[in-house]
Amino acid sequence: MKLIYTDSLVVGAGLAGLRVAIASKERGLDTLVLSLIPAKRSHSAAAQGGMQASLGNTVKGMGDDEDVHFQDTVKGSDWGCDQEVARMFAHCAPKAVRELANWGVPWTRVTKGPRQVVVNAEKVTIEEAEEAHGLINARDFGGTKKWRTCYTADGTGHSLLYAVDNKAISLDIPVHERVEALALIHDGKRCHGVVARCLITGELRAYVAKSTTIATGGYGRIYEVSTNAIICEGIGQALALETGVATLGNMEAVQFHPTAIVPVGILTTEGCRGDGGLLRDKDGHRFMPDYEPEKKELASRDVVSRRMTEHMRKGKGVDSPYGPHLWLDITLLGRKHVETNLREVKEICENFLGIDPAEDWIPVRPTQHYSMGGIRTDAKGQSPQLKGLFSVGEAACWDMHGFNRLGGNSLAETVVGGMIIGKYVADFCEENTLEIDTALAERFVAQVRDEIDSLVEGQGSESAYELKREMQRIMMDYVGIFRNGPELTKAVEELEALLIRSRNLGLKCKKRHANPELVEALRVKRMIKVALTVACGAEARTESRGAHAREDYPQRNDKEWLNRTLSSWPSADATRPQLDYEALDVMKMELPPGYRGYGINNAIAHPDTEKREKQIVEILSNLGEEADRHERQHALMPFEVPESLREKNERLHDKPLGNSQQLGEESK
Ligand SMILES: Cc1cc2nc3c(=O)[nH]c(=O)nc-3n(C[C@H](O)[C@H](O)[C@H](O)COP(=O)(O)OP(=O)(O)OC[C@H]3O[C@@H](n4cnc5c(N)ncnc54)[C@H](O)[C@@H]3O)c2cc1C
């Protein structure tokens, strides 16, 4: 058995994983990253529109700060998030954007003077301040009060990943590419690393470490049509699930993005609507204002996706050989804007649809896009059940997104979460020694070897490809945008049957080295378990919250469901996860549950909501008029971040303008 030791092991070389690795390495810890593919090809590179941070540089962002960003995030989550984590995040996001500027991200900048923008289908001229000239710009995104999404045209993920990976390279952080983690090494209380398989040679290795951070991204590909890369298959979540100890949080919270192109499901960024693009039906009618007069196309994604589906169900979709769709119209933005700020969208439309989006409407439909659920961690990013196991980015349920994440808050989560959790990971490595009986590592390697032996040498007859297709169809048909009891029960039963069939997989190609069929067989069993956590969680949750919309339980029910679903896998022969629930404490919330400002206002109130609202009024009036917003916030809900990140953020409108150093920042 090949044993490789390190201090900080990170599984995943996307933005989140690399940012944690950088934090460990900067503290002088031996650090190693594993990845299925070269780091720069990780899925983070696909992100288009931008990342949220309350810089408040642009005139449309004036008045923005952490408080507004926090409130937007909590409302976006439909009160499902951990408010303390949302606070940590909103506080650190401006620091992350500026750090990235220092690492070379070419953020789109503010140009002083007048510029024409499209707001609510009208061309208006806004005047950018002289003092803001050259500072980081921001665009509008769904569910936000201010223009807060910092961007580099519509290739933000690409720029960020290149900058962060180059930083990791400059620190000499090794990335073992084309290596797949298949099991966690643990003793039921402490995680000691992973068993991984080299995808080229087939070699099995034990990577043993003080801390193990899972940053493997989302599980979108358990669905048939998804905007996600084909490697976003949920294997990281399965690693935690299969320990039988670590839990997954809110797996039923799956986001559908309103505007993926039909039929292939490639994304056109929310930036299209943020910059003024409109949604139209088969008659060319702009329908969103009819449903959402306040936010229109820029309500949160769960709301827009549902409204689009509702509208298509009324027969207003455009018929196509691939089913009905609607139109995204960005022609009103003008060719120059499309070719500069939305050039990736332009290329996608040209290459995959053969149309010019500066002239033609784009056929779109809501499509699976983001996994709010993931490996449940505490605010420091560590699994509450398995010491030494951390998780970050889309793989995790940290949990700042609750039941719906806002556009631009995910890229931000990767680098902000990576920055914060990276420091806690480094603390953990410094405070703990590596004590492991290598027999334990050998036992886990043997288990994976046995699994491969039985696939390669066994007589199984089921096809991994077929089971995967079946699973994806079930998820698409029964666990989609609108859900109901009978269909969810059907999904659970059919997935259970698939899981049983997956115990009889057979291979046509018996090679042990580079063998895609073997890779697929090893993954599909794990993916079906992950799919079951989504379907079972959705079946059990008899309310509608954020992206989880039950037709048979249309109300958000804070009285009975203000909690987080925790899934664990009870035993190797189980066919369903065990579900437990973690209550969210209203009496500790800075922002008690209320109306989001968009979507349907039909929640059943939690019995503590009124009590907490009164308490908040009392706390604030006791503080008196002199208290500033930071003191008021602290009195309501204190939160911790690592010491080096505690500094308050400064903005143009905070104080009379001085030199750019006063702004804490960005080189112009
Ligand atoms: C098309 C698209 C556009 C988007 N645009 C935006 C946007 O504009 N703004 C925004 O905020 N968010 C956006 N998102 C979401 C955002 O891009 C992702 O949530 C985020 O980049 C995920 O980063 P990550 O580091 O968590 O994971 P990823 O970037 O997915 O990286 C996962 C890493 O894990 C590795 N890995 C996976 N499994 C294993 C394994 N078993 N063993 C070893 N390695 C493994 C992979 O090789 C990869 O390196 C977009 C998403 C999509 C799909």
Interface pTM, i.e. ipTM = 0.99
Q: Which amino acid is at 485?
A: G
**Coil, helix or strand at residue 433:** coil
Nearest CA to ligand 1 atom 21: 44
Count the neighbouring beta carbons within 10 Å of the beta carbon of residue 406: 25
pLDDT, tens only, 241-276: 999 999 999 999 999 999 999 999 999 999 999 999
Mean pLDDT of 423-444: 96
Which ligand 1 atom is the nearest neighbour of the CA of 418? 25
Which ligand 1 atom is the nearest neighbour of the CA of 180? 42
Please give the helix or strand (H or E) that residue 3 lies within, else none.
Answer: strand 2-11
Which ligand 1 atom is the nearest neighbour of the CA of 239? 41
Say if residue 127 is exposed, middle or buried (CB neighbours under 10 Å; 0-12, 13-18, 19+): exposed
* Residues 281, 282, 285: CA angle, nearest 5 degrees: 45
* Residues 251, 231, 238: CA angle, nearest 5 degrees: 40
How, if at all, do strands 389-391 and 204-214 pair? Answer: parallel
Pocket of ligand 1 (CB under 6 A): 11-17, 34-37, 42-44, 46-51, 156-157, 179-181, 215-217, 227-228, 231-232, 235-236, 267, 269, 369-370, 393-395, 408-412, 414
Does 96 have pLDDT greater than 50?
Answer: yes
Does 620 have pLDDT greater than 60?
Answer: yes
Mean pLDDT of 395-412: 97
Does 662 have pLDDT greater than 50?
Answer: no
Q: Tell me the average pLDDT of the chain.
A: 95
Instruction: Give, for ligand 1, the residue of 34, 35, 154, 222 to mutate: max count of ligand atoms closer than 8 Å to Cβ.
Output: 35
**Which tokens go with 507?**
């291979």
Which ligand 1 atom is the nearest neighbour of the CA of 17? 25
Mean pLDDT of 148-175: 97
142 near 299, Cβ under 8 Å?
Answer: yes
Q: Which amino acid is at 230?
A: I
pLDDT, tens only, 31-49: 999 999 999 999 999 999 9
Mean pLDDT of 154-171: 97
Nearest to 220 by CA among 531, 487, 491: 531
Count the neighbouring beta carbons within 10 Å of the beta carbon of residue 322: 12
pLDDT of the residue at 655: 63
* CB hemisphere CA count around 566 (13 angstroms): 18
Does 665 have pLDDT greater than 60?
Answer: no
C-alpha to C-alpha distance for 371 and 226, rounded to whole angstroms: 11
Alpha-carbon Rg of the chain, whole angstroms?
A: 24
pLDDT of the residue at 637: 98
For the chain, what's the residue count?
A: 668
pLDDT of the residue at 654: 80
- What Å distances lie between residue 515 and 182, 521, 544, 656, CA to CA? 15, 10, 43, 63
Nearest to 242 by CA among 318, 171, 183, 315: 183
Mean pLDDT of 577-589: 98
C-alpha to C-alpha distance for 332 and 472, rounded to whole angstroms: 37
Catalytic residues: 257, 273
C-alpha to C-alpha distance for 350 and 338, rounded to whole angstroms: 12
111 near 133, Cβ under 8 Å?
Answer: yes
Distance of CA 411 from the midpoint of ligand 1 (Å): 9
Nearest CA to ligand 1 atom 13: 47
User: Going by C-beta distance under 8 Å and a sequence separation of 6 or more, which residues neighbour residue 141?
Assistant: 49, 50, 52, 148, 149, 270, 271, 274, 298, 406, 407, 408
C-alpha to C-alpha distance for 99 and 415, rounded to whole angstroms: 10
Distance of CA 592 from the midpoint of ligand 1 (Å): 31
Distance of CA 442 from the midpoint of ligand 1 (Å): 31
Mean pLDDT of 330-348: 95
**Main-chain phi, psi angles of 4, to 5 degrees:** -120, 125
Count the neighbouring beta carbons within 10 Å of the beta carbon of residue 259: 30
pLDDT, tens only, 111-143: 999 999 999 999 999 999 999 999 999 999 988
C-alpha to C-alpha distance for 16 and 400, rounded to whole angstroms: 15
- What Å distances lie between residue 347 and 12, 44, 229, 248, 407, CA to CA? 28, 19, 18, 37, 21
Distance of CA 407 from the midpoint of ligand 1 (Å): 14
Beta bridge partners of 382: 390
Structure confidence at residue 653 as a pLDDT band (50, 70, 90):
confident
C-alpha to C-alpha distance for 73 and 54, rounded to whole angstroms: 12
pLDDT of the residue at 110: 97
Torsion of CA 242, 248, 250, 254, to 10 degrees: -60
581 near 565, Cβ under 8 Å?
Answer: yes
Mean pLDDT of 358-378: 97
Beta bridge partners of 172: none
227 near 367, Cβ under 8 Å?
Answer: yes
Nearest to 77 by CA among 404, 376, 397, 306: 404
pLDDT, tens only, 531-575: 999 999 999 999 999 999 999 999 999 999 999 999 999 999 999
Instruction: Give, for ligand 1, the residue of 411, 419, 522, 527 to mutate: max count of ligand atoms closer than 8 Å to Cβ.
Output: 411
156 near 411, Cβ under 8 Å?
Answer: yes
pLDDT of the residue at 1: 83
pLDDT of the residue at 73: 98
Mean pLDDT of 222-232: 95
154 near 271, Cβ under 8 Å?
Answer: yes
Sign of CA dihedral 237, 445, 203, 17: positive
The two counts, helices (H) then strands (E), for the chain are 18, 22
Does 410 have pLDDT greater than 80?
Answer: yes
**Coil, helix or strand at residue 197:** strand
Letter string b/e over residues 472-503, b meaning 16 or more CB atoms within 10 A of that residue's CB: bebbbebbbbbbbeebbebbbebbbebbebbe
pLDDT of the residue at 394: 98
Mean pLDDT of 211-219: 98
For residues 299 and 664, which has the higher predicted lDDT (pLDDT)?
Answer: 299
**Which tokens go with 331?**
């022609």
Does 656 have pLDDT greater than 80?
Answer: no
